[in-house]
Amino acid sequence: MEQNGYDYHYQYHEPEVIKEAIYKGGEALKKAPEVVGVPTGVEGLDELFFTVKEIDGRLQKVNLGGIPKYSVCNLTGVNDTGKSLMAEQFAIAQAQKGQKVAFITVETPANFVAASLKYRALAMGYRFEEFEDNIILIDAASNYKLREYIPDLLATLAYAIKTYKIDYTVIDSVTGLFENKEAMARSIVRRLFNFMKKWYQTAWFISQKRSGHEMLSAEAAGGYAVGHIVDGTMVLAKELITSAYAARLYNAQIGDLVRFFRIDGCRMCGHDTKTHFMEITETGIVKILEPIGGKR
């Protein structure tokens, strides 16, 4: 049986040389996946990631056309900023292309999420029936064992990945997995992250921010745990316009709700660093718009 990190740490044993953890640069490079983009299904987002490629002996910036494949991204924001909508769009976009997606729902029971996914597909111009079984829902909202005991969740997910040949995973939300044990946030997120890497998943982890946190910072509930561990963070925010100054600044009117989006970091590729306006349409579709301050 694979040893759990905690047991290993706390059991005394003679120091051991772990040879399989040592790689020469060339060996490690052979195992490195090429950086390719995965279109997200979110208008305006895919253009914000780029990589540099060696072309004729020179490094040139090349648009990735999506988030880097095999990356684990954290989507953070306070309540009602569009995290779930965006994650659903991502899941639909993959499923519609024939890819298999694990959707671990921690907040909302699976049947409600399925109904929401169906609407999301319709709003995106697709017929959900044509690919509905490409999304495998794992209902941790209704099952406390999955929510409270990470090894059960990971064993269930590993089983689903093997059975359905899943390449994409969404967890909405990881915060729900460390509710009332925030001190564990870092270790829980680390285990989830390592699992995604081991199984070559391209994954979105949703994490909630407390409203006390600075609006556009990447700090999520449980402190900075999530942001440091994952490959990249996308921050969603909203602001109610209450002053003439803000109204002028954002070209809005007093009483409007203005939404923002920012990529806080991505280890696997280059990315746009500006804060963008964001829109949620009447049918619940998230779109990333121009940077605040306009295009420069």
Ligand X SMILES: Nc1ncnc2c1ncn2[C@@H]1O[C@H](COP(=O)(O)OP(=O)(O)OP(=O)(O)O)[C@@H](O)[C@H]1O
Q: How far is the CB of 248 from ligand X (least distance, A)?
A: 24
Among 40, 76, 81, 169, binds ligand X (CB under 6 A): 81
Closest to Mg ion by CB, 71 or 84: 84
The interface mask with ligand X, positions 180-219, x = CB under 6 A, is ----------------------------x-----------
Q: Which residues pair with 37 in a beta bridge?
A: 68
Strands 135-139 and 58-63: unpaired
Among 278, 280, 287, 288, binds ligand X (CB under 6 A): 280
From Mg ion, ligand X, none, which one binds at residue 283 (CB under 5 to 8 Å depending on kind)?
ligand X
Task: Find, among 279, 276, 222, the residue nearest to 256 by Cα.
Answer: 279
C-alpha of 216 from chain center: 16
Contact between 84 and Mg ion (CB under 5 A)? yes
**Whole-angstrom distance, CA of residue 274 vs CA of residue 252:** 19
Contact between 253 and ligand X (CB under 6 A)? no
Closest to ligand X by CB, 84 or 94: 84
Among 37, 68, 77, 222, binds ligand X (CB under 6 A): 77
Q: How far is the CB of 230 from ligand X (least distance, A)?
A: 17
- Cα distances from 76 to residues 163, 260, 292, in angstroms, run 30, 12, 19
Q: Which long-range contacts (CB under 8 A, 24 or more apart) does 130-135 make?
A: 130/96, 131/95, 131/96, 131/98, 132/95, 134/94, 134/95, 134/96, 134/98, 134/99, 134/100, 134/101, 135/91, 135/92, 135/95, 135/100, 135/101, 135/103
Among 63, 163, 251, 283, binds ligand X (CB under 6 A): 283
Closest to ligand X by CB, 60 or 283: 283
Query: Which residues contribute to the site for ligand X (CB under 6 A)?
Result: 77, 79-85, 208, 280, 282-284
